[in-house]
Amino acid sequence: MLEFRRAGKFQRLLLRYTQALITQMSQTAVCNRYHSVEQQLSRWLLLTLDRMPTNELIMTQELVASMLGVRREGITEAAGNLQRDGLISYRRGHIAVIDRKGLEKHACECYAVVKTELDRLLSDVQDS
């Protein structure tokens, strides 16, 4: 707390992180209201995988549905459509992105908005 009160580097980092988090939360609210479950799933997969060293998630449909605030059946349908389009590979509890560029095109503009803001605010600490 002392460093934060001194308005040093740590405070500036926390404020940038807070701004990035608020941007992501706001954009997610808009996305959840206006975009399809497929677009939301695409956005969520991309943002999640941006923070991982792999292109595969080990996660149940139930957990993904909970993360997106939708019914599991919606995730089943959306994941099936993305798989049929050759964008992901989905098998029980495993989701792998096969065509990232295609998934980026399939996702709504919310992914680019959040990614651009995260990169702008936190690019100096993301590789640390």
27 lies in the same domain as 65: no
The residues, any chain, with a CB within 8 Å of residue 58's CB and separated by 6 or more, are 93, 94
Whichever domain contains 67, its CATH number is 1.10.10.10
How high is the pLDDT of residue 12?
87
- Residue at 79: amino acid letter: A
Whether 16 and 42 share a structural domain: no
Give mean pLDDT, residues 83-88.
97
Q: Tell me the whole-structure pTM to 2 decimals.
A: 0.86
Q: Are 28 and 17 members of one domain?
A: yes
Residue 57's domain comprises 36-107
Residue among 79, 107, 82, 102 nearest 92 (CA): 79
Mean pLDDT of the chain: 91
For residues 58 and 28, membership in a common domain is answered with no
Residues 26 and 6 in one domain: yes
Q: Based on the domain organization, do 23 and 53 belong to the same domain? A: no
Contact assessment for residue 88 and residue 102, using Cβ atoms and an 8 Å cutoff: no
- Pair (40, 98) in one structural domain: yes
Q: Which residues, 6+ apart, have CB-to-CB distance to 22 below 8 Å?
A: none
Same domain, 120 and 65: no
Q: How many structural domains comprise the chain?
A: 2
**Does residue 10 carry a pLDDT above 90?**
no
How long, in residues, is the chain?
128
**In which band, very low, low, confident or very high, does the pLDDT at 126 lie, cut at 50, 70 and 90?**
low
Element (H, E) at 58: strand 56-58
